[in-house]
Each structure stands twice: as structure tokens, then as C-alpha cells.
Amino acid sequence: MRANWSELLLHRCGLALRESQVPVFAELLQSRTAALGLPNCTSYFDVLQADQDTGDEWTEVVDRLVSHETMFFRHPETFEAIRTQILPDLRRRPETGGNRLAVCSAGCSTGEEAYSLAMIALAAAAGDFTVWGMDMSRRALDTARRGRYGARAVAAVPADCRRYLVAAEPDVFEVAEDVRRHVRFVIANLFVSCGMFLSYDLLVCQNVLIYFAPSAVPRALAALASRLTPGGFLLLGPGEAPTATPEGLEPVAINGVRAFRRVALPPREVRS
């Protein structure tokens, strides 16, 4: 039985079902089976198999298997590199000209990373831009769209970006409208290239691939790389190092940051 569930998770969204997650996952199966009035977990398997990758039942599964714990400006080296090296480089590209920059926070969870990217772009006077926050969890995206966070989540916001937060009540802050108007949140399955509907100049995917099965990581990276514009950047978390450089990308030497840049046509999608 477990093998069937593992294969379904791997095939549909690349997630790994780890041994430590089995008790929580079994509890989820029982609760959802009862909530839907189904006779057994096998029937729930059929429901999940028929559901869309970003449907309500998949949201329930993803929310149990993936941690949504995050904060603003997580891994400060990444945002410093974006401010001082990557945004200036992107603006110097002849093909960019005066066009709007497209930025993506892949696996954005509750929105802190997407808003951090918008804040850093505004503080760096990066010109016209849109940040797209993408995640499979509807519940996480609902929180992101509200844009309200506790003091712990915003503790690492740099001094020159604090003006983009508005005190709403004691220890609760709202993201300012100047930031919110640059950010859009959409539900998406990052495991497939068609789950992302635009091309991006900067794609940030931190602490996401750690939830993927090792065999699924190359396909996920190929899907991400295929959505980069020529000369665009892909930034991963410091502990998310692929065993080989994704096709069509080259590593970029930025101290403390796992970075790649597109140098060729989008690669073929890797199918499992």
C-alpha cells in the first residue's frame, strides 16, 4: 500500500514520503477518508488520483508533508547578491531595455520570500517589475495574499526595507501597498514546466527541493530552468546542490549563494 502512495506522490508532484512522515500521512488518509464519507483509504487513493495537481485534496496532502515555516529575508546572502549583482546585471542586458522584469518565488509558501524580493527590488530602484509567488498549497497562498505577519517573521527585514511594513496591531505587521502592487500569487505545481506559465528573469527556489525525492530533482530543475529567459538567474538554497549542472545553465560564482544562469535554449523536460 505504501509503495502505491509513494509512487503517486512522486509521479504527480515529486515529493518524497519519508519514513518519519508515515504516521502523520496515515492519520491524514484516515481523516480525509472519513471526512469524504468513503469506505476505505483505497477509495481515497482513487479520489486523489483523479484530483488536479493543485486541487483541494492535493492541498491537504501537501500541507501535511511540507513545512511552511519561513520568514522574510531568509538567507540574507541571497538577497544581498540580488541587490548588488543580479538586479544590476539583469538591467544591463540589451534585451531587457525598459521592459518589466519578471521575478518568481518558486515554492513561496506563505509569501515572505515573494514580498522580500519585491522589497529588495524597490529599495534597489530596479525599475518596473512583477514578483510571482507560486506554491501548490491554497492555504499557504491565502495567508500570503493577506500579507499580515508576526514580529518573528519580519525580524530580519533590513533597516532600509522596514518602511515597507505597516504596524497593524501589537506585534502584527502588514505589507505596504507599495510592495503588494508588485506581487501576484498563483497556485502551481513546480514539478512540471507547464505549471509555470511565464518566463522569468530571476527565479528563486530556496528550501523546496529538499522535499523532493532524489530521482525527481533533475526533472524539477529542468522545469524551473525551462522558464528562465536567456541570461536569467536561478537561485537555490545553500543546501540544495544538484549533482550536475542543469542542462542549459552555467554556475555563477557568488559568495554564499547557489546560483545558475541560462546560457542556451530551454532544456528538454526530463520525464520519469
Mean pLDDT throughout 37-42?
89
b or e along 232-266 (b: 16 or more beta carbons within 10 Å of the residue's beta carbon)? bbbbbbeebeeeeebbbbeebebeebbbbbbeeeb
CATH of 76-262, one of 1.10.8.100, 3.40.50.11900, 3.40.50.150, 3.30.365.10: 3.40.50.150
pLDDT of 110 above 50: yes
- pLDDT at res. 1: 46
268 phi and psi angles, rounded to 5 deg: -65, 145
Residue 241 predicted with pLDDT over 90: no
| Predicted confidence (pLDDT) at residue 272 exceeds the cutoff of 50 | no
Q: What is the DSSP string of the chain?
A: -HHHHHHHHHHHH-B---GGGHHHHHHHHHHHHHHTT-SSHHHHHHHHHHS-TTSHHHHHHHHHHS-----TT-SHHHHHHIIIIIHHHHHH-TTTTTPPEEEEEET-TTSHHHHHHHHHHHHTT--SEEEEEEES-HHHHHHHHHTEEETTTTTT--GGGGGGEEEEETTEEEE-HHHHTTEEEEE--TTSGGGS-S-EEEEEE-S-GGGB-GGGHHHHHHHHHTTEEEEEEEEE-TT---SSPPTTEEEEEETTEEEEEE-SSPPPPP--
Task: For residue 213, name the pLDDT band (cuts at 50, 70, 90).
Answer: confident
Identify the residue with better confidence: 36 or 180. Answer: 180
Percent of the chain with pLDDT strictly greater than 70: 90
User: Taking the domains of the chain in order of start, what are their residue ranges?
Assistant: 2-65, 76-262
pLDDT digits (tens, 9 = 90+) for 118-172: 999 999 887 889 999 999 888 889 999 999 999 999 999 999 999 999 998 889 9
CATH architecture of 2-65: Orthogonal Bundle (1.10)
Rounded distance, CA 22 to CA 173, Å?
36
Q: Tell me the pTM.
A: 0.87
Could you tell me which residue, 215 or 260, shows the higher pLDDT? Answer: 260
Instruction: Summarize the confidence of residues 64-90 as an average pLDDT.
Output: 89
Q: What is the pLDDT of residue 97?
A: 55
